[in-house]
């Protein structure tokens, strides 16, 4: 993996992390206000879930270079 490619992957990771954190936060706020009587824990849960999803995506993305994909195997 070249340096440029790696840099692009990291950029994507950070942007994705920010997006998912914001989405999780937003959904957490919505659920907290509607169902959980404005407690804080749904908000933290939502942001944590968002960050976790971003982490998993980033991990997959960075590992994908070193793994053999099904499309390569079939060729």
Q: Write out the residues near other proteins by the rule CB under 8 A.
A: 12-13, 15-16, 19-20, 23, 26-27, 30-31, 34-35, 53, 57-58, 61
Give percent helix, percent strand, percent coil of the chain, each to the nearest 5. 85, 0, 15
Provide the minimum distance between the beta carbon of 18 and other proteins in the complex, in angstroms, as a whole number.
9
DSSP class of residue 1 equals -
Decide whether 13 or 45 has the Cβ nearer to other proteins. Answer: 13
DSSP class of residue 68 equals P
What is the token pair recorded at 56?
């998993």
Provide the minimum distance between the beta carbon of 15 and other proteins in the complex, in angstroms, as a whole number.
6
């Amino acid at each position: 993996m070249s340096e440029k490619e790696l840099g692009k992957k990291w950029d994507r990771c950070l942007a994705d992390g920010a997006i998912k954190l914001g989405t999780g936060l937003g959904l957490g706020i919505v659920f907290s206000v509607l169902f959980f009587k404005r407690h804080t824990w749904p908000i933290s849960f939502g942001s944590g879930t968002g960050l976790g999803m971003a982490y998993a995506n980033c991990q997959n993305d960075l590992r994908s270079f070193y793994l053999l994909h099904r499309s390569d195997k079939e060729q």
